[in-house]
Amino acid sequence: MNNHVTLKQLAKELGLSISTVSKALKNSYEINDKTILRVQALAKKHNYRPNRMALSLKNNQTKTIGVIIPNILNYFFSKVLLGIEDEANKNGYQIIICLSNNKYEKELQSLELLSDGSVDGFILSIARETQREKHHNHFNKIIKEGYPIVMFDRVSENVNCDKVVIDDFEATFNATNYLLKQGRKKIALISTVSNLDIGKQRTDGYTEALKKYQNYQNDAIVIPITDKSKYESTISDIFKEHKNIDAILTTNNVSAVTALKMAQLNGYKIPKDISVIGFSDDQISRLSHPKLSTIDQNAFEMGKKAVESLISRLAEKSTTAFKTQVVKTDLLVRETT
Amino acid sequence: MNNHVTLKQLAKELGLSISTVSKALKNSYEINDKTILRVQALAKKHNYRPNRMALSLKNNQTKTIGVIIPNILNYFFSKVLLGIEDEANKNGYQIIICLSNNKYEKELQSLELLSDGSVDGFILSIARETQREKHHNHFNKIIKEGYPIVMFDRVSENVNCDKVVIDDFEATFNATNYLLKQGRKKIALISTVSNLDIGKQRTDGYTEALKKYQNYQNDAIVIPITDKSKYESTISDIFKEHKNIDAILTTNNVSAVTALKMAQLNGYKIPKDISVIGFSDDQISRLSHPKLSTIDQNAFEMGKKAVESLISRLAEKSTTAFKTQVVKTDLLVRETT
DNA sequence: GTGAAAGCGCTAACAC
DNA sequence: GTGTTAGCGCTTTCAC
């Protein structure tokens, strides 16, 4: 129960009408200079600020963005959030956060919860479960209700909206190429996102690079891992099943670091005997020993772009075509390549 | 610009008055059963939901909690956020996030931004800069304006409000004791939070444990590190300056892992020659090699407790005494002790 | 130069 | 059983 000063109270204290006070605070030309000064002085004294709910109701806009994040413990998403918050604040927007925890039900619920006039639009990355089970009606429904959505990273081709993605294909394509140019002969890909759309693109980038490279002798080796508890055992098996692997590309850093550890336990020298490239410029990659080479997704910029995109969508009356922005990735060469 | 159905539109379509519709939706005993059915059917068809802003304005409560986080890239804070979001949702609350990025100005701004009727109260952890410079008036001002605050982890004794903390003293006290009982003779503490209140408590826990232990021969060794870029060099120096160190306790896992690495480079076997204990049950601690023993702050539970505390504060009329809840810590013994 | 009144969407006390 | 009215805090048009 906050005890804000309202226009009403100011008006009463000043012996003026509410509308005069309102205008005076806006330096309206209609109002006498002296009155303006009197009003503003009192407003300042009481630290008056217009009630946001009243403004929202009046203007039919909340200046608030709903953000739905699949997993806040993931460094990448945290960093996107940092970008979103920064850019939103710069534009006078607040952000309401919901966490889907990668569950479809929670995502759906969050969407419905916030589409009661709480926000002007959404920025979200699709929950793992949603993508696996190919749901998308809930998104389209929300859009039809008049809430624009901007999707980032994990997007759906079945939803017509603005998107911000990285070029997942190009990311692994370039990384694979880098390994090939270093003379690696047998490169494996560990995919922890094989059930996501981006997983397919990352796999394609890898296989395509191998295909295009002259004289590459081996088949593509793609090892999917879904169960977190099986990282160690699955990766350990790689070294048994595939002899002479001399490079490993991964889709996240937990698996990359695990691979690093397993390789070392198997007596490999890094990067002499085997190269490892992770995905995402997070703390783990900077703390491993040796320091992990990795693919930087420029998460902060993704967040920023998503906000820009949503705000310009909110600003316009007529619906211009939806666009998908691609944020470039960088290969960060550290000590494991 | 969302296009929600309003009571007005429903009323018009049904040829009823707004208030009848409103009551019908609430199954009011005043309204005829048939009317109720008609109204609810149409409401469902149009997916009617009361506008949140209108409700907030009417009820003078937003059912929204403002959350101010110092650093979202920190695993601990992300996990607290997870707990906050979960518990808030369970109670029908939304959360608006602001990130202080450990800056006083940003924290102040966030507080002012949200105290315009956007939220019912705040949950926050104090920015590093704010604590270092000992600001607290902004908190007290907000409280005076009628917004209850619940502080977690980094709290201020100069602000009279509900708090949720871990027993930082006990955490390091117990960890140090554990090392002593294992027969460690020369234990060092690396403190990355020496400019925070919790830093002092953690240091005290460590020194107190040493003092109480019979026959401990060495002085306390406390190494403060503030500059992130100097982790490696500072920690490396420890091994030069202090011979025979056989255990290191730290206040975060980045320094613990760095210590681990430096110890290994110096030829120490872990945990045979030297024990290392970190702080916080994050990914880093589980991925290091060997796996880091660490102090678990039960972050999720802190978030949950903070929400419970705020909600019960909001519910009551009379002001009961503020309380500080202490969440227990656990020593997670893994492979470095 | 100032104020009254309507309206954003909703609820609830009070008619009828 | 249904409708009218006032009011939450604000802006803005229209009177005076």
The confidence score (pLDDT) of residue B101 equals: 97
In chain B, the residue whose alpha carbon lies closest to the alpha carbon of A71 is B82
* Residues B253, B278 contacting (CB under 8 angstroms): yes
Q: Which residue has the higher pLDDT, A85 or A320?
A: A85
Rounded CA–C1' distance between B147 and D10, in angstroms: 21
Rounded CA–C1' distance between A2 and C10, in angstroms: 20
Q: How far is A210 from chain B (nearest CA, A)?
A: 30
The confidence score (pLDDT) of residue A11 equals: 93
3-state helix, strand and coil shares in percent for chain B, rounded to the nearest 5: 45, 15, 40
CA closest to C7 C1', residue: A58
Nucleotides of D under 7 A from a protein CB: 1-5, 7-14
What are the tens digits of pLDDT across the range A270-286?
A: 999 999 999 999 989 99
Q: Tens-digit pLDDT profile for chain B (337 aa)? A: 567 899 999 999 999 999 999 999 999 998 989 999 999 999 999 999 999 999 999 999 999 999 999 999 999 999 999 999 999 999 999 999 999 999 999 999 999 999 999 999 999 999 999 999 999 999 999 999 999 999 999 999 999 999 999 999 999 999 999 999 999 999 999 999 998 889 999 999 999 999 999 889 999 999 999 888 999 999 999 999 998 999 999 999 999 999 999 999 899 999 999 999 999 999 899 988 899 999 999 999 999 999 999 999 999 866 789 999 999 999 999 999 9
Q: Give the whole-angstrom CA distance, residue A122 versus residue A68.
A: 8
Work out how many CB contacts closer than 8 A connect A with B: 150
Q: Which two tokens stand for residue A69?
A: 């994040």
DSSP 8-state secondary structure symbol assigned to residue B229: G
Residue A299 has pLDDT above 80, yes or no: yes
What are the tens digits of pLDDT across the range B282-307?
A: 989 998 889 999 999 999 999 999 99
Q: Residue A183 burial (CB < 10 Å; 0-12/13-18/19+)?
A: exposed
The confidence score (pLDDT) of residue B164 equals: 98
- For the packed helices A253-265 and A231-241, what is the interaxial angle rounded to 10 degrees? 50
pTM of the model: 0.92
Whether B73 and A79 lie within 8 Å, measured CB to CB: yes
In whole angstroms, how far apart are CA A9 and each of A4, A22, A26, B102, B144? 10, 12, 17, 37, 18
The confidence score (pLDDT) of residue A289 equals: 86
> Which nucleotide is the nearest neighbour of B21, by CA and C1'?
D2
* DSSP character string of A222-265: EEE---GGGHHHHHHHHHHHSTT--EEEESSHHHHHHHHHHHHH
CA closest to D13 C1', residue: A19
> Which nucleotide is the nearest neighbour of B55, by CA and C1'?
C10
Is A168-296 the same fold as A60-165+299-327?
yes
Estimate to the nearest angstrom the gap between the alpha carbon of A106 and the chain centroid.
17
* DSSP character string of A174-219: HHHHHHHHTT---EEEEES-TTSHHHHHHHHHHHHHHHHSTT--SP
| All protein residues with a CB under 7 A from any atom of strand D | A 4, 6-8, 18-19, 22-23, 25-26, 30, 48-51, 54-55, 57-58; B 15-20, 23, 28-32, 35, 54, 57-58, 60
Q: Which two tokens stand for residue B198?
A: 């919790």
CB contacts, 8 Å: A75 with chain B: 73
Q: Which of B265, B289, B300, B304 to mutate to test the interface with A (most CBs of A within 10 A)?
A: B289
Q: Residue B337 burial (CB < 10 Å; 0-12/13-18/19+)?
A: buried
Whether A116 and B54 lie within 8 Å, measured CB to CB: no
Whether A53 and B49 lie within 8 Å, measured CB to CB: no
What is the three-class DSSP state of B68? strand
The confidence score (pLDDT) of residue A176 equals: 97
Closest CB from B78, B120, B147 relative to A73: B78
What is the three-class DSSP state of B318? coil
Average pLDDT in the A223-248 region?
A: 92
The confidence score (pLDDT) of residue B331 equals: 97
> Which nucleotide is the nearest neighbour of A20, by CA and C1'?
C2
Tokens 């690093």 sit at which residue?
A260
The confidence score (pLDDT) of residue A318 equals: 65
In whole angstroms, how far apart are CA B28 and each of B12, B21, B32, B49, B296? 20, 10, 9, 17, 51
Q: Where are the domains of chain A?
A: 7-50, 60-165+299-327, 168-296
Nucleotides of C under 7 A from a protein CB: 1-5, 7-14
CA closest to D2 C1', residue: B20
The confidence score (pLDDT) of residue B119 equals: 97
Question: What is the dihedral sign for C-alpha A125, A127, A130, A131?
Answer: positive
Estimate to the nearest angstrom the gap between the alpha carbon of A196 and the chain centroid.
15
> Which nucleotide is the nearest neighbour of A7, by CA and C1'?
D9
**Residue B39 one-letter amino acid:** V
Residue A297 has pLDDT above 80, yes or no: yes
Q: Give the whole-angstrom CA distance, residue B98 versus residue B228.
A: 24
A57 touches strand C (CB under 7 A): yes
Question: How high does pLDDT run on average in chain A?
Answer: 94
Q: How far is B328 from chain A (nearest CA, A)?
A: 22
Rounded CA–C1' distance between A19 and C3, in angstroms: 7
* Residues B187, B248 contacting (CB under 8 angstroms): yes
CB contacts, 8 Å: B4 with chain A: 116-117, 145-146
Rounded CA–C1' distance between A310 and D14, in angstroms: 37
The confidence score (pLDDT) of residue B215 equals: 87
**Residue B54 one-letter amino acid:** A
A17 touches strand C (CB under 7 A): yes
Angle, CA B216 vertex, CA B210 and CA B222 arms, to 5°: 45
Torsion of CA A87, A91, A92, A94, to 10 degrees: -30
Tell me which fold the domain B60-165+299-327 belongs to.
Rossmann fold (3.40.50)
Q: How many Cβ atoms are within 10 Å of B126's Cβ, its own excluded?
A: 27
Closest CB from A73, A96, A118 relative to B82: A73
Whether B56 and A53 lie within 8 Å, measured CB to CB: yes
CA closest to C1 C1', residue: A31
Q: Give the whole-angstrom CA distance, residue A38 versus residue A52.
A: 24
3-state helix, strand and coil shares in percent for chain A, rounded to the nearest 5: 45, 15, 40
Estimate to the nearest angstrom the gap between the alpha carbon of A134 and the chain centroid.
20
Burial A308-320 (b: 16+ CB within 10 A, else e): bbbbebbeeeeee
User: Checking DSSP bridges between strand A221-224 and strand A187-191, what pairing results, if any?
Assistant: parallel
Whether B52 and A145 lie within 8 Å, measured CB to CB: no
What is the three-class DSSP state of B46? coil
A96 forms bridges with which residues in the sheet? Answer: A66, B96
| E strand residue ranges, chain B | 64-69, 94-99, 121-124, 149-152, 162-166, 187-191, 221-224, 247-250, 275-279, 293-296, 324-327, 330-332
Q: Give the whole-angstrom CA distance, residue A235 versus residue A242.
A: 11
Q: Give the whole-angstrom CA distance, residue B221 versus residue B85.
A: 40
What are the tens digits of pLDDT across the range A57-73?
A: 999 999 999 999 999 99
Residue B291 phi/psi, 5° resolution?
Answer: -65, 130
User: Checking DSSP bridges between strand A162-166 and strand A187-191, what pairing results, if any?
Assistant: unpaired
User: Checking DSSP bridges between strand A293-296 and strand A330-332, what pairing results, if any?
Assistant: antiparallel
Domain A168-296 is classified in which CATH homologous superfamily?
Response regulator (3.40.50.2300)
Average pLDDT in the A305-314 region?
A: 96
